[in-house]
Amino acid sequence: MTDLDVTADPYAAADTAAAALNQALGEHDAAIVLGSGWGESLASLGTIGAEIPAADLPGFAGSTVAGHKGTITSVTTAGGRKVLAFAGRVHLYEGHGPALVVHGVRTAVRAGCRTIVLTNAAGGLDPEHRVGDAVLIADHLNLQGESPMAGASPPDEMGARFVDLTDTYTDRLRVMARQLDPQLREGVYCGLRGPHYETPAEVRMLRRLGTDLVGMSTVLEAIAARHLGAEILGLSIVTNAAAGLGDEELDHRDVLVVAKASAARTLALVADVLDRA
């Protein structure tokens, strides 16, 4: 990670990183954050161009998690949409604060990306969601105990910290995705801190709260992107039944296998949505 204190002034840090990102890879109008295991299918999004290590940019940290390559790649969809693909997501459970967790998303928006696609690998709580299914995120529960809006106040031109999350996951993008794939289901994603998996009792609680998908990412990034005015499309791949709902022991290696197998067709759908958005 380059020597930049993201926590002290996360908005100035994002602007500094955005300038460096545009200089390195050029301007783009959309970005996608790749969940665990998604990165190996990136060619399904479009033609792969230049790539840089995320940690070369101001304020970025390298990921310590298997399935997160730690790069930012320029991709051009079949329709000519220029997309930044972030395969360097970091998480609260790695010891980072919320400002660093959302630094990539803030940087992307400040670099000119008005559409942000957030993807993840998730445990499934809805019995109708099969392992390997892609599910649209319609809403979320943030149970990570953190918010990227806490701390330093944003500059006036970026809007108040009291961001309205009513339409976090943009309705028109979700409608477009369902039109392209009528089999696509929607669900509510719950973000927990991790890195341990949930207990069966916690899963039963989450189901009563209306949770369909559970994971350890996404929600803070969505809040930060929504605050900066970006449109957001969220997609989970169900990589396992949540604790107590299946017969298999939960293992991150199995998560990566399922995500890798399912990501290609889901990224192709993302490309189609971006080309029509």
Distance separating alpha carbons of residues 94 and 77, to the nearest angstrom: 32
Whether residue 75 is contained in a domain is answered as yes
Taking only the tens place, the pLDDT of each residue in 195-236 is 998 999 999 999 999 999 999 999 999 999 999 999 999 999
Asked if the model's pLDDT at residue 94 lies above 80, the reply is yes
* Structural domain includes residue 121: yes
How many domains is the chain partitioned into structurally?
1
The verdict on residue 2 lying in a domain is: no
Q: What is the mean pLDDT of the chain?
A: 91
Query: Could you tell me the pLDDT band of residue 241, with boundaries at 50, 70 and 90?
Result: confident
Say whether the peptide bond before residue 195 is cis (omega within 30 degrees of 0).
Answer: yes
Q: Is 3 inside any structural domain?
A: no
Other C-beta atoms closer than 10 Å to the C-beta of 221 total 27
pLDDT digits (tens, 9 = 90+) for 131-153: 889 999 999 999 999 999 999 89
Mean per-residue pLDDT for 19-31?
A: 97
Question: What does the pLDDT look like over 61-78, one tens digit per residue?
Answer: 877 665 557 899 999 999
Domain annotation covers residue 24? yes
Domain, as residue range, for 18 = 10-276
Residues involved in catalysis: 36, 68, 91, 93-94, 121, 216-217, 240, 252
pLDDT of residue 242: 76
In a domain, 101, yes or no: yes
Is 98 inside a domain boundary?
Answer: yes
pLDDT (0 to 100) of residue 29: 95
pLDDT above 50 (res 59): yes
Question: Domain holding 268: CATH number?
Answer: 3.40.50.1580
Separation CA 87–CA 69 (nearest Å): 5
Q: 1 lies in a domain?
A: no
